[in-house]
Amino acid sequence: MNIPPLPGHPHLHYAQGQLQLEGVRLADLAARHGTPLYVYSRAAMLDALAAYQRGFKGRKARICYAMKANSSLAILQLFAQAGCGFDIVSGGELERVLAAGGDPSTVVFSGVGKTRGEMRQALKAGIGCFNVESEAELEVLSSVAQALGLRAPVSIRVNPNVDAKTHPYISTGLKGNKFGIAHERVLATYRRAASLPGLHVKGIDCHIGSQITEATPYLDAMDRVLDLVQAIEAAGIAIEHIDFGGGLGIDYQGDAPPAADALWAQLLARLDARGQGDRMLMIEPGRSLVGNAGVCLTEVLYLKPGEQKNFCIVDAAMNDLPRPMMYEAFHGIVPLAQQRAGETQVYDVVGPICESGDWLGRERTLAVQPGDLLAVLSAGAYCSAMGSTYNTRARPAEILVDGSAAHLIRERESVSDIFRSERLVPAKI
């Protein structure tokens, strides 16, 4: 029987009334590993990556997974084996890349606050490029590299003042954002970088935000970056690569971002029209590779009717799924057992944490009873990675599904794991 997948989730479907990810029944995983539980689809991640690979076919390009979206070692291993580099923002993320078998020469190091220790660590590892975010960082990086007898490969992140038309917390390309060098300071900054003995200018970098759902901001940013490339090279400074960042959105609630291959067809056409089609290109997708590959499973604990709202209280919380609390973000919520018509109520789906901001979904129509299982959709990006142990809640286990196989890729944390590094002080007599 041909069972249609859930919209926006091609590997998630109901079979014999039970929700499956690829060939695995999610209820079976919940019974075996408990809830809350993150579950990811290998096929969904590789399908998302394949769209970028199709878009860049025949071009000089490198796809660097922005691992802040989800840094589980098995997911990094998957992308490394598929030929990806990595976009990192900390020394800890570099250690994860190396632990997962990633090639440090394919790593780009972004972020506004790199420490001297992180710079030394990355230089010794032999990373591909530092995406430098300020003029002060250039000076420090040059001195650190000189002390090691090295030259740091650098790309300067420019701020093109382009509105990505996304949530203000994940917009990064406007003048009021903390990221990058202001457009009018770019040429002077490149001249300074070229003069510093510990640096080797390699490229130019631009990233304008996250969860972008239309092509226009990318096209605007590309035009501004190409104008800068022309001015920089006219000043005698060669640009080997252009890094256009990431930020492509996913379908959370009927969003309609362009497919990665369709987006890059437009961008590459613009690049060719500007006579720059033979440039080495780099991109840093994150959410668009993993976001819709993951779900978070949760059990209904209690139903609490009220005069103004009905509450469905579940065992997952804002420490497991922080995006609704942080961004008022929408995640689809569906039952693991297919529901019959005519049994529904409207609920706010909330967790057990002592915060009014601990909600996962508002005004959701569900037919549920205590003990039922739900799947919170689009949980592959910025959920596990941004999770916490608030209220001393242990982090969930993580499962990677591959066809009919399910691999435990992170064990469930215990409470003793949480406070293992803490120490009591000597008691006073």
From the list 347, 350, 292, 348, the residue with the least C-alpha distance to 321 is: 350
Q: Of the listed 64, 84, 312, 354, which one is catalytic?
A: 354
Report yes or no: 241 and 203 within 8 Å, Cβ to Cβ: yes
Listed in sequence order, the residues at least 6 apart from 114 whose beta carbon sits closer than 8 Å to its beta carbon are: 130, 137, 141
Q: Distance between CA atoms of 222 and 295, rounded to whole angstroms?
A: 34
SS3 content of the chain, % helix, strand, coil (to 5): 30, 25, 40
Read off the tokens for 128.
Answer: 């591909």
Q: What angle do CA 378, 351, 93 make, to 5 degrees?
A: 50
- Strand-pair category, 5-6 with 9-15: antiparallel
Which residues on adjacent β-strands are paired with residue 36? none
> What spatial distance separates the first Cα and last Cα of the chain, rounded to whole Å?
74
Find all residues with CB under 8 Å of 205, minimum gap 6, and list them. 108, 110, 131, 155, 156, 157, 158, 180, 243, 245
CA distance linking residue 172 with residue 133, whole number of Å: 12
Respond yes or no: is residue 383 known to be catalytic: no
Catalytic residue ranges: 354
